[in-house]
Structure 1
Amino acid sequence: MGEAEGGVRVGESPLRREDLGALFRPATAERIGLEIECGVVDPETGRAAPYEGEHGMGAVLAAVLKEWSGEPLYDGGALVAVRLADGGLVGLEHGGQLEYSAPPADDVVSAVSDVRERLAALSEIVGRHGLALLPGAHLPFDGLGTVSWVPLARGPIMRTHFAGLGADGSGGAEILALSTSTQVHLDHLGEDDFVQKLRLHAAASPVVAALFVNAPLHEGRADGVLSRRSLNWTRTDPCRCGPVVPALSGMTGFDDVVNWALDIPVLYYRNGSGRLRRGGGRSFASALADGFDDGSRPDFDHWTAHLGQIWTHVRVRETLELRAADGPPHLHFSAVPALWAGLTYHRPSRDAAWNLLRHYTLDQQREVSRRLPLEGLRTRLGGDRVHDLAAELVSLAREGLTRRVAAGLERPEAPGYLDPLDEVLATGRTFAEQCAHRWRTDLREDPRRYVAAYRV
């Protein structure tokens, strides 16, 4: 749930309905962006570091700013992010999770190499504060009672909103405080290309989520849930989470996404004085027609921010942001961009993957999303084994990457990034099941051993 910069600027031009699709402008090339969120934890207890203090996350960010330079970004006077000179960003999520957003790269290997280098450097910085950098999908030894909230102005608004939804929002606070992930940003080259890519991404996301489940521990216990993160996403405001509905409902262009997003309520907005205000349950379409509750009218920055408050499997803004997969173990995070790039940036693989998945209904996609946190690859989608569908997607992605290597668009090592997924599929043991087994055996249910095994 990004916006690490603490909000958006507020422009001056009033917004018109016909302006909204301009956000989805085509790229000039197909590039790859990566975002990695990690816990920053005490290596002895596995508990997340607080924001405050000499060795808190505020101090860690200050060290990043001092050593790497860049532009400090504040929220209410608190340092919450550093924008780097190359366009990358190091920022904090609500529970102190550290996010590195890499600048876009021309190929998968370049993107992965940049992230590996930056994470190694961040690991060194947090290590000097007596902390450890812990990738994955969910802080394994914390609960809501042990995390320290980062002073982000939108945080209390979001937590109040989720609490007001009852059961439908019961996972929202944990998503804010405890979840981590590996997210991929991909480009489209025009409206038809946008439709083809988005519909594939929407259809494939639950299968990919089942393949990558990797959050089996919560508050230091393995309770049989394979992805606490995916489970929480099923109870974090259903109107703004889950499938991108138009992508699975015969969409034909940008307008389908615009119309869908217009009907979603505004969660919060920044007024002319720069302060955040609650959206009051008003849809963006209503705000566009009649203004916000304070009488102000939305501009293009409000529209951009509104799309950032929609946390579907694929988030649609300037890029296609692929969010379904849990963060894998650090050694294997490269499998996430490799899978998505191989499926997306090779037209025959993309078409074959869409033909594999196109007949599943929106209700079937929603059902598999509800079941996969507990069942992983054993989940069935419309009666078919997700394991078999995932195997076909990995094969198509490998073919796509291999063809891109032959065309000079990828480096030769890119297809090998998928090898860990071959092992998962061959054994039927997901990253979550491997982790839970290790937790009970060689890690001896010891947080110190766990952190030593999985840290960067």
Structure 2
Amino acid sequence: MPIASVTPPLSRSALRSVFEERGGDELVGVEVETAALDPLTGAAVPYAGENGVRAYLDFLSSLPGAEPELDHGALVGVRLPGGGTVSVEHGGAVEFSSRPATRVADLAEHTAGALRELAAAARRFGFALVPGALYPCTPFEEVNWVPHARTPLMRRHFASLGEAGCWGSHLMSMTLSTQASFDFLSPADLAAKLTMQAAASTPAAALFVNAPVYAGRPSSFLSHRMHYRSRTDPARTRVIPVTLREDFDIERFIDWALTLPMIHRATPDGGCRPVEPVPFGTLIRSGFEDGTLPDLGDWRAHLSQIFSDVRLRATLEVRAVDGPPWYALMAVPAFWSGLTYHEPSRTAARDMLRHVSRERHLAALDDIARRGMAAEFDGRPVRETAAELLRLSTEGLRARIAAGLERPEALACLDPLHEVVTSGVTFAERVLAAWHEAPERFPERFVAEYRIP
């Protein structure tokens, strides 16, 4: 029997307050997802077992000052004593989330040190941590699912969408990414940063394609990750229309988010339950099936269930690009920092791309997934647009260095992208070259070359 709710309906100001939980600094953070791989076979390491990912997390949680994080009783993460968090994704990927930094160069130092320590711990259990964008040697049928409470609910949601959600479980379990997060200082600043990031995400993706091998063999895609995103709930993934609007503001974003159904909701015992597939705005008025009304925690959870190229919560989280190899990880926060935190570069990038429709973005994303830098974007080679964005980002970083807001070392983070633009050879094509050179030795050579040392 439904119970009467004692929670007052969420007001418009309450919904808006989530986007006002910020400080006065422009910080940058990074999340790096790594595959836990057997060094000889390249196969995914299971969650269970004495040398599995859970045992690895147990070891990390035993370090002085570390704190375990549980999901309905299952160990799924650890707060590290040196700052940052390790968590495990649905298919067993190990993710490191940094503490925010004021400068990209500082972030790079902290992240490199933390990842090297995590990789050293993984070696104790006989596996390697390998950044990138896709598990290269494990087919979907052999995914070792982690016991997250929300995993079966997410898979059921994608399955309910039919063809529109057919790659959802693959995206959850097989793919990796490196994501960067940025601050906004006012409603106008939010609009300027988000609309630029959304418009630039598609051509930027061509710089980073890095998922060409599936189940141990080359595929017809340079980015399987981007391909999987094409049929994973299109209403809430890739480029969403509201973020391309010239008149974008937070009220329009809230209106759009209220039209989406919530997928799952936390339960008091630490688990999750499915939510009736109705718009979140309807839930605010009518309540959940048990009679309770959504609260701010539900609203925050709902925003986290949006998987767009730029995810808006208390920060701007850029999610469009594939995870690059170890030596190029910091290219992600460096590239977006130069564009986001330097107003002239940000404005120039937005002006260059403001006319491109969502339909052209989606067509280009499908083309980039197959051809990378050889694809077209809005009727011209994407390589040209990506090169101009990289130039603007470089100018932005240089200006921040001149103003004392960044260290000169940050520019070196962009070197791998300059190499991609100059040569036209993507990270994915380098992986393919290694496969064709010695297919029978590819798993072992791939792990040896791309693992975190």
> TM-score scaled by structure 2?
0.96
Deviation at 1:34, TM superposition (A): 0.4
Amino acid corresponding to residue 210 of structure 1 in structure 2: A
Task: Give the structure 1 partner of residue 3 of structure 2.
Answer: none
- In 1, Cα distance between the equivalents of 2:8 and 2:135? 42
The number of aligned residues is: 446
Of 121, 136, 142, the match for 1:146: 142
Task: Give the structure 1 partner of residue 98 of structure 2.
Answer: 102
Q: Could you say if the C-alpha distance between residues 85 and 262 of structure 1 is closer, same or farther in structure 2, counting changes exceeding 3 Å? A: farther
Task: Give the structure 2 partner of residue 259 of structure 1.
Answer: 255
**In the alignment, does 2:445 pair up with 1:449?**
yes
Of 14, 17, 27, the match for 2:12: 17
- In 1, Cα distance between the equivalents of 2:191 and 2:433? 41
Q: Could you say if the C-alpha distance between residues 195 and 28 of structure 1 is closer, same or farther in structure 2, counting changes exceeding 3 Å? A: same
Task: Give the structure 2 partner of residue 133 of structure 1.
Answer: 129
Assess if the C-alpha contact under 8 Å between 1:191 and 1:254 holds in 2.
yes
Task: Give the structure 1 partner of residue 319 of structure 2.
Answer: 323
Amino acid corresponding to residue 436 of structure 2 in structure 1: R
Q: Could you say if the C-alpha distance between residues 41 and 127 of structure 1 is closer, same or farther in structure 2, counting changes exceeding 3 Å? A: same
Deviation at 1:256, TM superposition (A): 1.1
Of 377, 384, 390, the match for 1:388: 384
Alignment of 1:302-321 (within 5 A): 302-321=298-317
**In the alignment, does 2:405 pair up with 1:402?**
no
Question: Alignment partner of 1:24: what SS?
Answer: helix
Question: Alignment partner of 1:413: what SS?
Answer: helix
- In 1, Cα distance between the equivalents of 2:139 and 2:254? 37
Assess if the C-alpha contact under 8 Å between 1:185 and 1:322 holds in 2.
yes
CA deviation string 1:328-378 (max 9, x = no partner): 110011111111000011111111111111111121112112221102112
- In 2, Cα distance between the equivalents of 1:425 and 1:41? 30
Of 235, 238, 241, the match for 1:242: 238
The alignment yields a C-alpha RMSD, in angstroms, of 1.5
Q: Could you say if the C-alpha distance between residues 269 and 217 of structure 1 is closer, same or farther in structure 2, counting changes exceeding 3 Å? A: same
Assess if the C-alpha contact under 8 Å between 2:83 and 2:99 holds in 1.
yes
Alignment of 1:355-366 (within 5 A): 355-366=351-362
Amino acid corresponding to residue 93 of structure 1 in structure 2: E
- In 2, Cα distance between the equivalents of 1:323 and 1:156? 23
- In 2, Cα distance between the equivalents of 1:68 and 1:368? 48
Question: Alignment partner of 2:129: what SS?
Answer: strand
- In 2, Cα distance between the equivalents of 1:282 and 1:269? 13
Return 5+ residue gaps in structure 1 as ranges: 1-10
- Percent same amino acid among aligned pairs? 42
Deviation at 1:17, TM superposition (A): 2.8
Assess if the C-alpha contact under 8 Å between 1:271 and 1:296 holds in 2.
no
CA deviation string 1:246-287 (max 9, x = no partner): 111233321111111110111111245544221221111010
Deviation at 1:445, TM superposition (A): 4.6
Assess if the C-alpha contact under 8 Å between 1:378 and 1:385 holds in 2.
yes
Deviation at 1:175, TM superposition (A): 1.1
Return 5+ residue gaps in structure 2 as ranges: 1-5
- In 2, Cα distance between the equivalents of 1:20 and 1:251? 20
Task: Give the structure 2 partner of residue 91 of structure 1.
Answer: 87
**In the alignment, does 2:162 pair up with 1:171?**
no
